Each structure stands twice: as structure tokens, then as C-alpha cells.
Structure 1
């Protein structure tokens, strides 16, 4: 049974991890040939067209059969692959000997080609599986043994997402090739591909081709990956040698581009290197999230699209200079080769370069219309030399998008050109065809549809080429004269700013992302829905009925949404944002203004909540204590907003996190105030008073985490209609101390520490709350909220609201009293 295509640690690709977006021009030759194929396919004679289609089909079938073979055999043993290779090869020989040249209705050669390619790919896959599943590394994996080893880094270290917790430490996935194990007389030389899982900032600066020494424990790789094992590394790497000259040149050019982009605003300076060379190390997390939801993630993954832009510029210059066709092809190939150096010759770049080479050959020979055949031949060659691509989502997206552009775009363009200008019809057809072709892969990956991707790509597309070309030139100029490079990136910054704006507005549109069943179920549902929709749209009356139903649904949503699900609610006073396992609250401070009490673990979720509430200015931020699930999203508060001052706990606990927090606040150039009891602010309809912690005492509790929790800043908020008690993460000891000093009453109670079982029943009772708000992540590993805490809240008569069940929660004043409404999931 064919296993699902998936991406493990070794096959990580920015386009697939962040991606989930429409890959409009995913290979260089597709970008080069789009306008040729979209304008010339239907203008030749029928006989020539049929001949080209038959020739393309003769290559499509072997390519698809080879892909399916590798996809299946990657999850099988080497012996199974060998058996398949022998059996299929025998079948091919039987066909060659027994079937006449014109047999099987003229398809004899196609059958022979399919069987031959399947046998070759099966043999190659079996050999590769055998190579990684035997030898010294395989034995160490079986023993889960720890060893000292030397390895060569084969790709850029990739940072893993950071989650909330007591301390945040950068973690990385590093593709590498182990070349020796052990030391001294026990040293064994070998060559085995592995993936290193490591933590620590020292890994970020490693470059491909560097040789390092590490100590780690071997573990099995993910099933279906062509890896000898996974290494759980302990400690930082010891660098034994520098990168190769090519990788060194690439790093000089890339670092020059990063430095030149420093003159741009933060969001633009992070995006420009991503657009040009796929360097997303400084990319803003909110921009990354917007790109994902808008279907623009492919723009930050180096692919054939980047090569197509560079090659297209070279061809345009050559045409202007009057060079012949062959010379244009040579110049395009040289331009792509130079770009590959700038982008760093990683495996994904080299694959794109190979596909770009096909484009150059097609252009030089004048056979640019044989796009499907060229795509099929390229897929066949790549699968043969690297069977692991069969399970790569990035590869699947690239191939599907390109096929959609070549097969669907010309026909759709011709139909659309009857109702709009030809240039607009072609742009729309290319975007729609690519999105339609990759939709099955996206459903298999993530279970969602992104209808906003087509208009987003249409709007962002014109800015991609100038940003890329100016960025490439700036990278080449930066080592020679930084001032000139900075001048070049300024207009590139305008282009990237436009793309960022498109992504932000597209991601904020209703139904930008539509949930859809994932996996095989989603594919079956899509296979049923698409033919029904096509049949309905092809006939007049069903089309009018379908449009009437869709129009009625849109009208119903437009009319009822403000009544049924108005968000943000009018005159809200307090909002508890659904940020997963963490705390983030907004206290109303006037139109477009809010006080932020804690920022949750994720800057993307924090910014999204502030945007949904229309908050443009934050006069005050109160960070109750320096745990990552309360301060990790602070950058989301600062994104595009004015921040007045930040209040922090006075207790000297949480050393590393406190130091990092102070450093972050200094970087943002914001005033840092230490909380003191009875400090009071009046902002808009809200009056905020700090009632804890005490400046004299410091309740500890069990362990460092409890000591930090007990140092939480506790805030009492009063409005004309009532009050709320925001208790941070205080635990039993701090709660008892607050009781001794006297607890002001409050109708709304923010339950401390996500409903932890470490609470004082008297503290809950003394709050006098009628509504208890719990900010908690669904399915968290901490057991929050604790059943005993929920039972105690029920005993005091408080109604419980939870973000994991109801999403964002808002406190509003209705008829002179406070009430809670939820946004819902």
C-alpha cells in the first residue's frame, strides 16, 4: 500500500513547513516557458499538437510510475525493492521479446519504457535503503548508543519553533553526513546521512560543508526516510574546518545582503533576504504567519521561480543586445549558476538549477513548447538520482504547480480573454491553474483550502521580480561598496513592503483559509466535489442555481454575522485572548487602545488578538512574571504599535528569563517599571491597581518555578459596572499572603496558573467572583485545569469560561452589570 507523502526532519523545506501556499512558478523552466506555452499551445495545427501530446504522454507515464514506485518502496525493506526490480525487469524483457514493435495498439514502447524506469527506480531505491539500513550506524541505532563522531554539515541549520516553558532555548535540525565514529584506535571511517537534533545558539552560524565534532545518542530515523539515523546531540559543536570556498563566497554575499537590508524597516529587512535567497533567519514571525494564510509562503523558498526571474532578466538583456538564441540560453544558464552560488548550493537550490538547465536547453533549441515532456523527464531524472524526493511535499508542490501552469493555464487563459484583457487573463489563469493543481497536495498536508491565495498572488506577483533582481544585485555589490548596496535595497524595500501589505490584508479576510478534511478523506471529498461543481458550472440552469445558493449564503452571513457573532463586541472592557497554554489579556484603555496584561507564548497569536480587537496603541504592558508562556509573545505587542511602558515583577527570580526580558525591552527602547503595591493608573474606562506582590516578602513555594509564579504581579481592575481580579500565576503561598493583606472583591476572576491544583480554597472564595476565566491550552501536558480547582469554583458559585473550549473571551457591561461572551471556535 502506498504510504502518504510526508516530510521528516531530513527533508525539511521552508516552502513546505511554512508553506502550505500556492507554488505559482515552482521550477525555473516553468517560469521561463509560462508565457510561451500559455500563448502558443493552441495556435499550431491539430496534427502537430496531437503529436506533441502523444510524445509528452510517453514520458508522463514512466515519470508517474517511477514516482509511485519510489513512494511505495521507501517504506519497504531493501529486499522487497530488489524483488520488485527483478520481477519488473523480467516483465520488460518478456514484452520486448514477445510483443511486436507495433503491438498493444502501438503502445508497446511506452509499456517497455514504464517497466524499464520502474525497474531502475526500484533497484536504485533498494540500493539506497540497504545502504542506510546496514553498517556501523545502523548497529548503533539499534543499541541506542552514544558516541563521539565527526560529521560534515550538508544543509543550513533549521531552527525549530519555540514553545512556552520556564526557559526558552533555541533548537535546531541539522542535516549532516557522519564520516567517522569514535576516536583513536577505535575510530571507524564511513559515510552515512543523518539528521542532528541539537540546541543552543552555537548551531545557528554553521555553514554547509563545515566539518564538526559532536557527541550524541543515535536513534531511529522517521520511517521512509533515506537516513541512517537521528542523532540527539549533547552540547555545542566543535568546528574542525571552515566551509568550502563556494559556501564561503555564498555566506559573504548573503551576509552583505542582510547588512544592506538593515536600512529597511524591521519587517522588510527580514523579508528581503528571504525573497532573494531564502534566508528567513530574520523574518518576522507575524509576516511568516500572514504569508502562510495568504498562500504566499512559496515566495520565501528558493525555487525555480527565483531562477526564472534571474534567467528572464538575463534573456531580456541578451535580446536587447541582439544576441542569437543560443547565446541567450548560455547567458541564462550562467545567470542561474551565479544565482545558485548567492543562494548557497543546497540540495533544493541544485534541484532548481537542474530544472533551470532544462529551461536553458529548451530555450536554446527553440523547443519551449515541449514543457510537459521536459517536466516529465526532469521528474524522472530527479526521482532516479534521489528517490527520497518521492515523499517530499515541496517536490510534489513544485511539480503539480508547474504541470498546472503548462496544462491548464493556456485553456483557462483563452476562455478568460473573452471577458478581460489578455494580460489580465493570462495572469489570472496562471495563478488559478497553479493553485488548482496544488490543492490536492495541500489537502493531504494540512486539510485546508486557501481561496485567497489566487488574488493574493496576483497582487503580490508584480513586486516579486523587482525585489528579487534588486536584492541579487545588492548582494553582489555589498562586498565592494555597502553604500551602493543600501541604495539598491531601498526600492527593493518598497516592493517587499507592498508584498507584506498584501499578505496582511489577505490573511485578515473572512474565509481566507477554509477548513477541509485532511488526508485521504479530504482527497476523496475533493474528488467528489470538483466534478459536481464542474458539471454544475458547465450548464446554464445548474450554474444559476449554484450562484443563487452561494449568493444567498453570502448575504445571510453578511446580515446575521453582526447580530450573531459580532467581534469585537461593542464597548468591551476586558478580553482574554486564546493563545494556547499561556496568558494574554487586554484591558480597555479607550478607542483603539488597550493595556496588555501578559503576552502569551506566541507573538503571532498575540498580534492576531490585538488586531482582531482593533488595538493600535498600548499605553501600558504589565508582565506578571518572566515565564515564556506569559512573555514569549511580547514582540507581537510591539508589531506596528506604540507602547508606552512595561511593568515587571520586583522579585529577583527567574534570572535568565528576567535578564532576557530586560534585554528585549532595551532593544525596543521602552521604559521598564518595577511593580509596586498600590500603584494605580486610570486609562479610558479602566482603573488598574497593583495589589501584589508585596515589596517586603517573597513567598517561595516548591521549586524555582513556584517561586517565580508566586512573584506574579496581581492586578485589580475596576470599571463603572464592576471589577476583575487578574492573578497571574500565584500559587498557594502567595494566595495566602494576599488574603492576609485583604483581597478587594471582583465579579470577574482570572483563575491563577491556568487552573492549577496548587490553590488556596479561601483565596477563591474571597474573590467573590461570579465568573471565572481560565486561559489554558487544549490537550496540554500539565493537566490544567485541575478537576479540584474546577470543583472549588463550582462550590463558590462561579460560572467557568475556558479559552480551550470557547476561544477568545470578552467581558462587557450590559444593563449596569458585567457579563462574559465568547468568540467561539
Structure 2
């Protein structure tokens, strides 16, 4: 006889998860930015409410009191619940208690971090001496300014420090404050996690709600006072020897094996990182919950193989997990992965599966108490949601898929269900980051999944062997290199597939819409499958209609009718084209690559260039000039700030070789080129603060077809303040502005007062996909969104055209 599982065993226990989900956004969007005293008050009120409602919810009703009318007969108490209670009040009590706990933790952490003078010194931009501990692995990125001809971009290293002592303004104070330092030079890259350092910096304020108290710029060399010591020093030695053991591998494997095992991405090729991001495989190139699950599963399997008794296996697994966390560095991301890995392993246990959701909710609550700023972490949100999808959806979907597979393929049901479930629950969270929905993510994860476990497990063995014998570990590393190379091949192949993603938008509304659509599809899928089997013609018609609506048609009809300005997709740089009628155009900057600029001009059918404006001489704005000069060019006008000199010289030579006259643009000048006119606002002088080339950018308002566009170049705060002063002197010249070309690819080094002066609500950001500058900065996107701007980005939409149609100004992506 078939065994029927009781209904209660199929229900999800959401009693703790729902309060955590309610409290999470309150902490993220209010508890970390509101005044500490107000957050503390709210925490006390919530806890008090939780206690009162909890007591009321567990009080027995009058009918259940002994001796009351209708009371239970003597002896029946053992059969009835001890307290019937009120489920609604208990739910309110749980939500209030969790909210009070998390708000109290946030207030406590913030009070500790802001105690002392660091925040005030940062507001004054004071120069101070810090004694600190390196709290996270130094992260090297390219400099804020592009490279000149024959010169690499200056190295920039971002380091998070936990400051223990600050000396400034004649006082030395003991503190506990996280500070983000942006340094240059090999000394910063050479620092290790948990090194004790002393340095002189200029402090600056952090963004509200940031997980650091201040941002610092070094004013001298950093001094390493002491190393991590003890077990952490030993872990560093293992990491170094592990890195040495993998140096002979293929480039992709040399980057991926350390990345999957210990989160070391320093050797991963940039193009592979971009491909994995595009295909939804980026979670593999860092320590994640799946890696932890594989390691724990391998330890438990090894325990069974060598005959370790069952009761001793959990302590051995815990010890293995502790060693793995120490090896990968116990930073917040690694600790988060370890916790989610434990919950994931619980989800795979048939005997404890029902405890999975409460365990996940408890883990989230504990992590948010430990570090409330995880509430603002996309990585933490993705890990939590992915684990929830594994707990709730993977097994029933796996069973459903297995029933429809041939006999020998039925074991693949759960394997196929895991990436599908993860993509379904994570897609709404990924949309605000990428602005698109990956179509190939599920396929890429399915193809890569068989290679993740062997790479991780063999990689851990390589790391351990390297402690005793680096050469032997190097031979063994090839066993991990083969599956790692397969993962890289899947990422690169999937990234090259046409229509690999669907543009969706990066707003909160777009994310909510995708979440609702996903929930609707999941809820109606069984009904749709049933109807499809009985009415295949209707199903085919729906598929054809959806494909007809969803497939992109813009490339066929490009440029759109009525276009005035197009921001070309030239990668990490600026390249804009203004229509001047009859195939004639005006070009503002030419991007970093001649091929990309040439393709854009060809798509627009440009036959002649009436004017080229070069806002400044960074390579990402003038690198593609040679392609523009392949067309007849009437004139080049550029910034008078000839910095960097090598690029300025190269541009002058190109202009001379093409016999194109070249001049300067300065504040106060006006231009008229055919139907296009412009007012130049900057530069009026050279600014030596900040980036000299960026602050020397040409800033102008261009008027074409009744549209006014503010082209802000790459100006930073200093130049933006001067532009605003010029505008205040004669507001009539500033006039109405319809479109803003956001400065410096959306860098956070900005002056928001410039945004306030723009009347229109259309913003263009010319930026490269997967760039490692962090452009556009989340803070800049937030500032634009708060002011109601409709943001369009070339990294997400390709070429972006500004169109004037029926008195309306709108943007169209290619």
C-alpha cells in the first residue's frame, strides 16, 4: 500500500521567516540611516510590543480555565493543547520581537562605530594618523583616469581598515571604526588580511548608510606594524603556496581554481570575469554557499569512507568548515557563505528537510545581528534567496522534472531543478544590478554544474598538499584545472550566444514587476502544462505571439526616426553623435576604440563630420579619433588643458596628418554649426585639485531640434562647483535643459547641485559593460532616481538615441 505523507509534513514553517522578511527592509532602508536615538527608541518599543502581544497570545481563553462553563472534563487536559493561544497575536509578537532585535543590533553597532572623533574629523576632511587592522583583502582596480599612450593606468587599491586608534587635532583616541582607504602603489596591494598598520590619511565623509564611517586618501606610505600572527599567518602561507602550485595552469584555470577554493580572484582574466557576470556564473568565482556545501559533503563522505562513527561526523565536519573559513579568510562574505552552506546541506538531508526554512530564517537573523550592514548587501540577499529557492522549490520541481524524463535520466531531475529554481528566485534581485534578465543563465549553470564540485574538492586537496610539497601539488592541480577550464569554456560560449539577455530596466518597479511575473508563471505553470497537452495549437500561438513581441527589432530600424543625439556604445568611454541633417553629424568625443566608434558612425550612415568636440584628453574620450577622421572632418575643438600630454600630442598629430584645423573651447564661447548651436560653460581655468584632465573637461549645452543637452564631460566636484557659479551669474544663458549626459560615466565624485539645475528628467550614462571602476556608482544612480530621472545606460542598452517626437523628448535603446 502506498504510504501517504501527512499534510502537516508538506507545509512550510514560515513562523520565523515572515518576521525576518518584514524586518529586513526596515533595517536596510531606515535602521542604518535614521538617527541612532530614534532607532534605539523604535527597538525598545518593538521589543515591548513583542512581549505584550506574546503574553496575550499565549493566555488561555476563559472557556479553557479550570471550573469555567464548558471547561474540559477532568483528565482531558492531557489531550488538549496546554495553551490554545491566539495565532494572530503570536505572529505579531514574533514580528515585533525580531524587528526590535535587529533594530537594537543596528543601533548598537552604529553607536560603537560612531563613538569617538572619526566621523567629525571626516566631515572636516582632517589629516590624521590611524592605527588599524586590515579587515578585508586589498582589492586592486584600475585608476580613475585612463592610461596615456604607452602608459598603464595607475594602480588603485581599495582597502577596508578597522581603526583602533586615531590621532588628529592634537588628540589620540581609541575607537572601533571601519574606514575605506583608496591607495596607490604596490605597498597597498602587498598588504595582507589582518595586518596591523599605521598610516597618515586625509579623511572624507562616507555616504549615508554606508558600512564604513569614512573614506580616506593616504598622505604618505603605509607602515605595517605587525602581521596577523598565529593560525591566520599559517593560512596566508597556505594561500601563497596554493597560488604557487597553480601558476603553471592555463590562464582561465589559474584564475578559477583559487577563486572557487579560497575566493582569490587576483589571477582571473578580466574578460572571463565579464563573461561569468553576463551568464549568471559570477557566484562561482568567489566563495559561496555551494562551495561550502561541496566541502562539507566531501568531509562527511570521507568520514564514512574511513569509518568515523556517525555521532562524531558533525564535529569533524564543523572542524573542516572552520579550517575552510580560516583558509578563505573569515571576512563577512566568507562567513555568510559558510552559514548558507550549512543551511544548504540541511536542505539536502532527508531527515531534517522540514527544519530548512526555520534554520534559514534563524541564520539570516543571526547574521543581521552580527553585521546589520548585510541587510544592504546584494550578495547576502542573493545567497539567502537562492538558499530559500533550494529549500522550497528544488525538490518538488526535481520530482516533477524526473517524472517526465526517461527511466535512466530520472536522476537528473534534481540536478536540472536547482539552477532553474535559483534563477527564478534570484532574477528579480539581479535586475537592478544589470538592467536585464539573462536568458542563458539557467543553461550556463546547468552546463557548468558538473564541474564545480570536482574543481572545489580537488582544489582543497591541492591547497593542503601544497603545505608540504608545492611541486606535487602543482601536478595534482591539473586535475582541478580540467573541470575549471570547462567552467570557463561554458562561460565564454554562453556569453557569445545571440540574445543572451532581455533588457528589462534597473528600477525598483522593474524588479517588483519581474517578481510578480515570476510568481505568476510558477503558480500557473501546472495549469499551463495541462492545457498545452490538450490544446497544442493555442500554446504554439501564444509562444509565437510572445516571441514576436519580445524579440528585439531596434537593430533593424536604426537609427530611430527623429533622432537628435545618440550615445554610442563604445565601451568604457564617451562617444556621442549629434544629427546635423543630410548625413552630416557633430561628434562629441570618440571613445577608447576606433573600431567601436567606426561601427557607430556606420550604423548612423554618417557621411561628413562638421565638428569634433574633444572634452578632454583621456584615452577613453579620444582613443577612437582615428575612426572619425576617416570621414571628411571640418574642424576639431578641444579642451585647453593639455593633460595627459602624451594623448594631447597624439591627437594633435592625428589632426595634422588629416589636415584638419584644431582649436580650443573655453567658457563663454558660443558655437553654431549648421542647425546645431552650443554654449560653452567650462573650462575657464586650470584646476589642480582632483583629476586635472577630468576637471579640465569641456562642459557645454548643445541645442538641436529644439532639444537642449547638457554635456558634462568627466568633471568632478571642483569643476562642477565652478560651472554652477557661472550659471548663477547669468541664469538666462543656462536656460531649460532637457537631457543630461551624466559626468564621468556616473562616478560618485560629483556635485548633486548640478543635477538640481537640470529641468528635464532624462539622463544618459555612457559606460562600459563590466568595467572595474565601479561605474556607474550606486550612490549616483540613487541620486538620479531620487530626483526622478529616467536613466539610460549604454552598458545595458547599447546605443541610446534621444528622439524628439510630437513635442516629447524620449530615449530609445538599440
TM value normalised by structure 2:
0.66
Distance 1:373 1:557, change over 3 A: closer
Deviation at 1:154, TM superposition (A): 0.8
User: Once the two structures are superposed, what CA deviation does each residue of 1:617-643 show, in whole Å capped at 9, x if it has no partner?
Assistant: xxxxxxxxxx87279999xxxxxxxxx
Q: Deviations over 1:449-476 (max 9, x none)?
A: 1121111001011111111122211122
Structure 1 gap ranges (5+): 1-41, 567-575, 584-598, 614-626, 635-648, 650-685, 690-700, 713-728, 744-748, 759-764, 766-779, 792-801, 810-822
Distance 1:143 1:418 in 2: 66
CA displacement at 1:433 relative to structure 2: 0.7
Shift in Å, 1:557: 9.5
Tell me how far apart the structure 1 counterparts of residues 95 and 283 of structure 2 sit (CA, whole Å): 32
Pair 1:256-2:241 in alignment: yes
Q: CA deviation at 1:116?
A: 2.1
Deviation at 1:75, TM superposition (A): 2.0
Distance 2:179 2:87 in 1: 46
Per the alignment, in what secondary structure is the counterpart of residue 190 of structure 1?
strand
Query: Of the candidates 58, 64, 67, which is equivalent to residue 24 of structure 2?
Result: 67
Match among 39, 54, 63 for residue 81 of structure 1: 39
CA separation in 2, counterparts of 1:436 and 1:307?
Answer: 22
Q: Is the 8 A contact 1:601 1:629 kept in 2?
A: yes
Contact 1:178 1:190 (C-alpha < 8 Å) held by counterparts? yes
Structure 2 counterpart of 1:160: 141
Aligned to 1:49: 9
SS of 2:283 mapped into structure 1: helix
Residue pairs, 1:487-566, within 5 angstroms: 487-530=475-518, 533=521, 537=525, 538-539=527-528, 540=531, 545=538, 547-551=540-544, 554=547
Partner-residue secondary structure (3-state), 1:253: helix
What is the deviation of 1:439?
A: 1.4
8 Å CA contact retained: 2:9, 2:354: no
Query: Which 4+ residue blocks in structure 1 deviate beyond 6 angstroms?
Result: 359-365, 555-566, 630-634, 784-791, 802-809
Partner of 1:478: 466
Who is 1:581 aligned against?
Answer: 573
Contact kept in structure 2, 1:179 and 1:189, CA below 8 Å: yes
Which of 147, 150, 154 is matched with 2:128 structurally?
Answer: 147
CA distance in 2, matches of 1:169, 1:508: 31
Aligned to 1:130: 111
Question: Which of 356-365 and 181-190 deviates more?
Answer: 356-365
Cα distance in 2 for residues equivalent to 1:199 and 1:161: 10
CA distance in 1, matches of 2:31, 2:3: 42
> Alpha-carbon deviation of 1:277?
1.1
User: Does 1:93 find its partner at 2:51?
Assistant: yes
Deviation sequence 1:167-194 (CA, Å, 0-9, x none): 5222222111111122898422222222
- Please say if residues 278 and 301 of structure 1, whose CA atoms lie closer than 8 Å, have aligned partners that are also in contact: yes
Q: 1:744-823 maps to which residues of 2 (within 5 A)?
A: 757=665
Aligned residues: 610
Query: 1:247: how far off?
Result: 2.5
- Evaluate the alpha carbon distance shift between residue 784 and residue 190 of structure 1 in structure 2; reply closer, same or farther with a 3 A threshold: closer
1:463-498 C-alpha deviation (Å, 9 max, x unpaired): 111111222111222232222111111122211111
1:281 aligns with 2:232: no
Q: Secondary structure at the match of 1:484?
A: helix
SS, match of residue 160 in structure 1: strand
Aligned to 1:776: none
- Match of 1:176, SS? strand
Q: 1:123-180: per-residue Cα shift (whole Å, max 9, x none)?
A: 2222222233342112212322211121111111122344553552222221111111
Q: Distance in 2 between matches of 1:803 and 1:209?
A: 38
Equivalent residues in 2 for 1:692-771, closer than 5 Å: 705=643, 707-709=645-647, 711-712=649-650, 729-730=651-652, 735=655, 738=657, 757=665
Cα 1:702–1:355 change in 2 (3 A) is closer
Q: Is the 8 A contact 2:336 2:380 kept in 1?
A: no
Question: For residues 304 and 644 of structure 2, what CA distance do their matches in structure 1 show?
Answer: 70
Evaluate the alpha carbon distance shift between residue 309 and residue 600 of structure 1 in structure 2; reply closer, same or farther with a 3 A threshold: farther
Superposed CA RMSD in Å reads 4.5
| Cα distance in 1, alignment partners of residues 401 and 349 from structure 2 | 31
Q: Distance in 1 between matches of 2:107 and 2:469?
A: 52
Question: What is the CA-CA distance between 1:522 and the residue it aligns to?
Answer: 0.6
Alpha-carbon distance in structure 2 between the residues aligned to 1:459 and 1:318: 30
Asked if residue 383 in structure 1 is aligned to residue 368 in structure 2, the reply is yes
In structure 1, C-alpha distance between the alignment counterparts of 2:24 and 2:328, rounded to whole Å: 28
Q: Is the aligned partner of 1:240 residue 2:225? A: yes
Larger CA deviation: 237-246 vs 356-365? 356-365
2:619 to 629, 634, 655: 629
Tell me by how many angstroms 1:283 deviates.
1.1
Give the distance between the partners of 2:556 and 2:426, measured in 1 at CA. 37
Stretches of structure 2 lacking an aligned partner (at least 5 in a row): 61-82, 560-567, 576-589, 604-616, 631-638, 667-672, 674-693, 706-763, 767-793, 801-811
8 A contact 1:210–1:241 mirrored in 2: yes
**What TM-score, normalized by structure 1, do the two folds share?**
0.65
Aligned residue for 2:95?
Answer: 114
Q: Which residue of 1 aligns with 2:635?
A: none
Higher relative contact order (CA 8 A, sep 6+): 1
Any conservation in 2 of the 1:466–1:492 contact (CA below 8 Å)? yes
